[in-house]
Structure 1
Amino acid sequence: MKYLLVALPLMILSACEPPQGGEPVTRTRIDGQAEATPSPTPSETPLVASQVESACRSIIFEDTSLTHCLAVPSRHRIRMALASDEGVTYRSLSAYSRSRDPVEMAFAMNAGMYDEEGQPIGYFVVNSERLKALNTNDGEGNFHLKPNGVFFGTGDSWEIRTTEDFLANVSDRPEFGTQSGPMLVIDGKIHPEISQDGPSRLVRNGVGIDDRGRAHFVISNAPISFGKLARFYRDELKVSDALYLDGNVSGLWNPATDRLDTGAPIGPIVAVERKVSDDE
């Protein structure tokens, strides 16, 4: 499964990804195809990309194209999403995008592993309501490659902890939370079971928290190993903790650049919303 590659130099937060005015918008898809749709004219819909700066930047790391999206507590709020108010599980970023005003959104990604019905298999909290309890079971697959972990937060405070740490030290229910695995970086060190550059290569995404409390969401635009993704978090983003969210089904909705990835059904979604100031 492939993405379109964007040939850009390695620079963190270096350049926006907006399409050229008047040119067709290319939507990347999980299956590697591209579908061109005309850019809307001012008389049809607001040009979101011209009004809102993208929170996401395309970069190259060790010859692999990545998209790095930055959430800043002073400018963004984070929520989890799974289903509509009617209880219908979204199962895609396309369905979720139809429920939201794109001007309010910074970006959204898939955010954790799930069962055949799209329900999270680990801890999951939406609007302070716990939909799934913490999963401490042993098992096979990436989720159970321990230590796994929890990405969670309330208000402007966002954290990533290993599942064991979360169980031992977090007693208050957060406003949002999702459990996934494995951890990519733990206290500044790469997960002990992750090799330098293993044979498993998939489109993958993750999240990391830096020492300023900012959340770094990364999705590869081409197949990538666990080791390379973990190194990017440790060496380039300098985060102390990073959590793998998923692979193969990974997707991004970035309204500012009209990117809306499609593909296999997904489950949990993380939504990063813009905080609107009084003068906007």
Structure 2
Amino acid sequence: MALLALLFTLPGCAPRAQALDSDEVAFAGQQYRVVHINLRREQLGLHWRNPQDGQPFGSIESLQQWGKTRGQKLLFAANAGIYDHKFAPLGLYVENGKTLVPLNLAHGNPASGNFSLLPNGVFAIYPDGHAAVRTSEAFKADGKAVQAATQSGPMLLIDGKLNEQFLDDSASLKWRSGVCAPSPHEVVFAVSEAPVNFHTFGRLFRDKLHCRDALYLDGSISQLYVDGEGYAGAPAFMVKPYAGIFAVFARQ
């Protein structure tokens, strides 16, 4: 044991970062990339702007390069949600305990975007390290401080039930990404590998991933990145600059 400990202290002998739990999952005739993150083991954070120059990262590649300059390896990344025409988060955005965009309860016309397809919701990580997905109204009623949070919409699942707005035979097919917290210290991200409707995507979280509350993140621009596996989700030519990126880093 002493020799093993010594080896880990020698240059070039540090243990490699543990790979994330990432799987290709089949459901209802479609394929999905699903990533499980253990919050007791990995630190999931949100990143919008480079703290050195205040410029938005905009892309997973830019965030990855920033991490490298700090001696960190990007293990996981995903678009953190819906944003406005100025490339700012459309709803609540909290990073490192600081609220950069307030909770948005001024809903517009559902025809103008998914954020207004009610109810929308919040994914949050709290100071004690646990995560949860709540409707925006329930999150406001809680009034609890959070370490990180993003607001998006619509909610896919609410207390185990599909959003009542979803239609089984809807012809609105898009690449879709979402998130849930099936237990307080487990977070699950999923992205479709082909266009699907909301009803099918919601059933994935309910019937396959066993979540009770799940939040839609974004549509045809969304991708997940996993170290060693690359990108899953929307084709690269459809991806536009992001305003908030989930990420897990590890020391190199």
CA distance in 2, matches of 1:208, 1:164: 17
List alignment gaps of at least 5 residues for structure 1.
Answer: 1-45
- Equivalent residue, structure 2, for 1:22: none
- Equivalent residue, structure 2, for 1:228: 200
List alignment gaps of at least 5 residues for structure 2.
Answer: 1-11
8 Å Cα contact 1:197-1:228 kept in structure 2 = no
Which of 159, 165, 168 lines up with 2:141 in the alignment? 168
Give how far 1:52 is off. Answer: 4.0
Corresponding residue SS for 2:183: coil
Judge which range, 193-202 or 64-73, deviates more: 193-202
Give how far 1:245 is off. Answer: 0.2
- Equivalent residue, structure 2, for 1:219: 191
- Equivalent residue, structure 2, for 1:109: 78
8 Å Cα contact 1:124-1:132 kept in structure 2 = yes
Alignment of 1:4-153 (within 5 A): 52-85=18-51, 86-101=53-68, 104-140=73-109, 141-153=113-125
Aligned length: 227
1:156 aligns with 2:123: no
1:246 aligns with 2:212: no
Which of 154, 165, 175 lines up with 1:203 in the alignment? 175
8 Å Cα contact 1:93-1:251 kept in structure 2 = no
Give how far 1:165 is off. Answer: 0.3
Corresponding residue SS for 1:100: helix
8 Å Cα contact 2:223-2:231 kept in structure 1 = no
Partner amino acid, structure 1, of 2:64: S
Judge which range, 119-128 or 195-204, deviates more: 195-204
CA RMSD of aligned residues (A): 2.2
Instruction: Please report the TM-score for the alignment, with normalisation by the length of structure 2.
Output: 0.83
8 Å Cα contact 1:153-1:175 kept in structure 2 = yes
8 Å Cα contact 1:93-1:252 kept in structure 2 = no
- Equivalent residue, structure 1, for 2:244: 268
Give how far 1:117 is off. Answer: 2.6
8 Å Cα contact 2:64-2:73 kept in structure 1 = no
CA distance in 1, matches of 2:17, 2:86: 37
Partner amino acid, structure 1, of 2:131: W
Instruction: Please report the TM-score for the alignment, with normalisation by the length of structure 1.
Output: 0.75
Give the % identical residues: 31
- Equivalent residue, structure 1, for 2:4: none
Partner amino acid, structure 2, of 1:133: P
Give how far 1:51 is off. Answer: 6.4
Give how far 1:273 is off. Answer: 3.8
CA distance in 1, matches of 2:169, 2:148: 32
8 Å Cα contact 2:72-2:249 kept in structure 1 = no
Partner amino acid, structure 2, of 1:78: L
CA distance in 2, matches of 1:99, 1:195: 42
